[in-house]
Each structure stands twice: as C-alpha cells, then as structure tokens.
Amino acid sequence: MLKKLQPAHSSDRSLMIKYRVQGIAEMENSQRLPSSSSDKEALYAEWEQWKRNEPPGEKRAEAVSRMRECYEKNAKNLDLSSMALSQLPTLPDCVEELVVNDNQLTELPALPSSLKKLSVNDNQLTQLPALPSSLEGLFANDNQLTQLPTLPNFLKMLFATDNQLAALPDILPNSLKSLDVSNNRL
C-alpha cells in the first residue's frame, strides 16, 4: 500500500510529493508528479517561442517534440543529438540522462537537479554550468572548454578529451573511477 507524505509547507505547490511503501524503505527513485498546469503551460510556451526563433538548419521542432514527449511520459532519458542546435531552452525536470552530442552548442542552460549523466560531446562549449550533485557521468569530449566547474562528490566518470583545459579542478571526487582528459593543454 502506498502512503502519501505531506509536503513540509502545504502552501508550496511546487514541492514534489513522495510515496513510500508502508513497512519498507523509501522507493529508490521517487517519481515526480506532473507540475501544475500553469507550470506546464509556461514551459510549453517557452519551448514554442524557442522553436519560432529557429535559425536556419536547426531542428528545433524535432527537439521540442522530444522534450514534450519526455515531459509527458516523465521519461528519464532525453537525446537531442545531431540537430544542429546552437542553444537549449529550459529542460524537463525529470531528465536523468541528457545527450546533446554533435550540435553547435556554445552554452548550456541550468541543468535538471536529477541529472545523473550528461553527454555534450562534439559541440563548441567553452564552459559548463554548475553541475548537479546527482551527476555520476560527464562526457564533454571535443569542445572548447578552458576549465571545468566544481565536480560533484559522486562523479564516477569524467571524459573531457580534445578541449582547451589548462588545469583540472583542485579537488577531484574520491568516487572518480574513469578519467580521460587527453589532448588538452595540461
């Protein structure tokens, strides 16, 4: 039987509602419930505006279609690779794996807090935004990165080959199992 846990502040409608099975530990992955219809409408309006401002050659209509499907199905994976995208709008909160390889991205928006894997290979990124604490894998090969942001404590894999990195962060996570930063200015 599932038990509904009440948010700490009932006035905060954006808080996620968590479920747990009585007598058993909390579910490993809490499910995000759909946001209010006004949140959804605002997000969809942003995506439609982004699509209308599409530069020639970009596949923003296809990207919006995939983001909508991801949002509606509360999907964990979102792949927007090879769409010639120069920028991204706000991303769905439910995304745990974001793949945006082989685009023309020069920057990224704020990343979903639930993100576990980020793959941004073959873009034109010069920097990355703050990385969520949940991130376990970062794949940022073939960009123009000159530095890396603070790395999350539980990061297991870091691949940032063929960039312009002159140094690594002072502190690397103890959890790091795989590291490849070859072909940089290190």
**Residue 33 to residue 168: CA distance in whole angstroms:** 38
Which residue in the block uniquely carries the two structure tokens 């073939």? Answer: 142
pLDDT surpasses 90 at 8: no
Q: Which domains does the chain have, with CATH numbers?
A: 1-31 (no CATH), 35-186 (3.80.10.10)
Single-letter code of the amino acid located at 157: M
Q: What angle do CA 38, 31, 17 make, to 5 degrees?
A: 65
Tell me the per-residue pLDDT of 59-97, one tens digit each, with 9 for 90 and over. 999 999 999 999 999 999 999 999 999 999 999 999 999
Contact 102, 81 (CB under 8 A): yes
**Residue 121 to residue 116: CA distance in whole angstroms:** 16
Residue 157 vs residue 1, higher pLDDT: 157
Q: Work out the pLDDT band at 27, boundaries 50, 70, 90.
A: very low
Kindly report the backbone phi and psi dihedral angles of residue 87, in degrees, each rounded to the nearest multiple of 5, phi listed first: -160, 165
Residue 156 vs residue 170, higher pLDDT: 156
Tell me the per-residue pLDDT of 122-148, one tens digit each, with 9 for 90 and over. 999 999 999 999 999 999 999 999 999
3-state secondary structure of 180: strand
**HSE on the CB side for 182, CA within 13 Å?**
2
Contact 155, 135 (CB under 8 A): yes
CB-based burial label for 184 (10 Å; 0-12, 13-18, 19+): middle
